[in-house]
Amino acid sequence: MSIRKILDFKHPALRTKAKKVARVDGSAVRLLDDLVETMYAAPGAGLAANQIGVALRAIVVKGDENQHHALINPELVKAEGSQIGYEGCLSYPGWVGEVERAEQVVVKGLNRKGKPVRIKASGFTARAFQHEIDHLDGILFTDRLTGLETLRPAEEYETELEAVKA
């Protein structure tokens, strides 16, 4: 496992649709391991393979209780409800913006052993799955902003959150 460099939003690899992984072998498992290690080191809530310059359909998403999901060839098979919230991106460091996403999703893909899995997620985890699958399709969160005026420095947003909590 190794920590990989995360490409920033200007890199053309982030606008390219990733290719399906033909089979889950040692190199695919190493890719998942590198994604996990890189995501936790960043730290982030998810990471797609093209964010580290690998044009293959592989993602990791941090779930509840510090678990993570690592998927090859993930697909969104069901999306219900709506949530609007701020999200950021490891490829767009220091910025957040308001994005509308489905509240609940079902995602299918292959696990690190090549076995089919289906994952039901809601709330923040559902948001993270949608965000990472978008990356695999060449879509950035800034493409889905509810309005350009919602894009702002993360520090400013975090300050406002702290003020509300006080």
Residue ranges of the annotated binding site are 89, 131, 135
Q: Biggest alpha carbon distance in the chain? A: 51
Binding-site residues for Fe cation, please? 89, 131, 135
* Enzyme catalytic residues: 132
